[in-house]
């Protein structure tokens, strides 16, 4: 499998499943057999993931990527053995970092929930082909990742504007919007992946969806207040 197909969610899930370290091996850079150069995508993903691990209090050395050809068996063995020694020196996930198992799980779960938003927010930098080794370490910075988590968006449907057209509910990729034909729609903030689809597809004449950045959205309306406030059609010009 191309290393470019390894998703950030795969890495986070591996740590959630109790792995103390994750090692990725990819083809040599600039030697892609399929001209997709997915190994550059994998490299950028790992650089971002290492910063995220650092941000949530886990040692970034628990994640490593190395590049080699199919003929580099010795290089692969040496790389894996060195990585195993590194992870053993760090110890079990969270212990060396002074985190309780429950806290590690909670932090990783929060990151996993935000993976779609993270990939969307950093799609340009994740697609960068980092040919210069000198620029890789600083491609993502700790301050940048801290701002990324600080500026997480939250989408809210204004009950005074929603006309229950069901367009956003039908387009939501994770079915996080509850609502029927005669019911104001409500976004389940726990299920929402922050993709912004609801904002993009809400008809311009309604403008019912609002994006809140860095602050929680207003609470949803009570069940008995979910009847749409119908707008009156503008009178035709004489």
Share of the chain above pLDDT 70, in %: 97
170: helix, strand or coil: helix
Burial of 203 (0-12, 13-18, 19+ CB in 10 A): exposed
pLDDT tens-place string over residues 88-130: 999 999 998 999 989 999 999 999 989 989 999 999 999 999 9
Confidence of residue 133 (pLDDT cuts 50, 70, 90): very high
pLDDT the model gives residue 35: 80
User: Residue 209 in contact with residue 131, Cβ under 8 Å?
Assistant: no
Provide the CA 92 distance to its chain's centre, in angstroms.
25
CA distance linking residue 52 with residue 108, whole number of Å = 10
Positions of E strands within the chain: 22-26, 63-67, 153-157, 177-178, 186-187, 209-213
pLDDT the model gives residue 31: 86
pLDDT tens-place string over residues 42-52: 999 999 999 99
What contacts 106, CB < 8 A, 6 or more positions away? none
CA-to-CA separations, 79 to 69, 75, 130, 231, in angstroms, rounded: 13, 6, 21, 65
User: Residue 130 in contact with residue 39, Cβ under 8 Å?
Assistant: no
pLDDT tens-place string over residues 221-231: 999 999 999 87
Tell me the domains of the chain and their CATH numbers.
3-150 (no CATH), 153-225 (3.30.70.20)
pLDDT the model gives residue 36: 86
Q: Residue 233 pLDDT more than 80?
A: no
User: Residue 168 in contact with residue 156, Cβ under 8 Å?
Assistant: no
The distance in angstroms from the start CA to the end CA of the chain is: 67
CA-to-CA separations, 3 to 6, 80, 138, in angstroms, rounded: 6, 16, 22
CA distance linking residue 23 with residue 25, whole number of Å = 7
pLDDT the model gives residue 234: 52
User: Any idea which residue has 């609002």 for tokens?
Assistant: 210
**The pTM is what?**
0.86
pLDDT tens-place string over residues 171-214: 999 999 999 889 999 999 999 989 899 999 999 999 999 999 98
């Amino acid at each position: 499998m191309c290393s470019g197909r390894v998703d950030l969610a795969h890495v986070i899930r591996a740590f959630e499943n109790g792995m103390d370290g994750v090692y990725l091996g990819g083809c040599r850079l600039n030697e892609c057999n399929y001209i997709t150069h997915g190994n550059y995508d994998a490299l950028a993903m790992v650089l971002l993931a290492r910063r995220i691990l650092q941000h949530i209090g886990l040692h970034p050395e628990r994640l490593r990527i190395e590049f080699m050809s199919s003929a580099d068996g010795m290089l692969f063995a040496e790389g894996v053995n060195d990585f195993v020694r590194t992870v053993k020196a760090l110890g079990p996930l969270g212990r060396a970092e002074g985190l309780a198992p429950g806290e590690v799980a909670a932090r990783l779960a929060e990151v996993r929930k935000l993976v779609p938003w993270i990939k969307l927010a950093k799609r340009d930098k994740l697609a960068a082909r980092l040919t210069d080794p000198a620029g890789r370490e600083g491609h993502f910075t700790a301050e940048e990742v801290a701002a990324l988590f600080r500026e997480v968006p939250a989408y809210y449907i204004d009950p005074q504007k929603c006309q229950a057209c069901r367009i956003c509910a039908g387009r939501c990729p994770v079915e996080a919007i509850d609502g029927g034909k005669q019911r104001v729609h409500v976004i389940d903030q726990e299920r929402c992946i922050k993709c912004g689809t609801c904002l993009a597809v809400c008809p311009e004449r309604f403008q019912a969806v609002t994006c809140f950045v860095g602050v929680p959205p207003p609470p949803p309306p009570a069940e008995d207040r979910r009847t749409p406030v119908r707008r009156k059609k503008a009178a035709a010009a004489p």
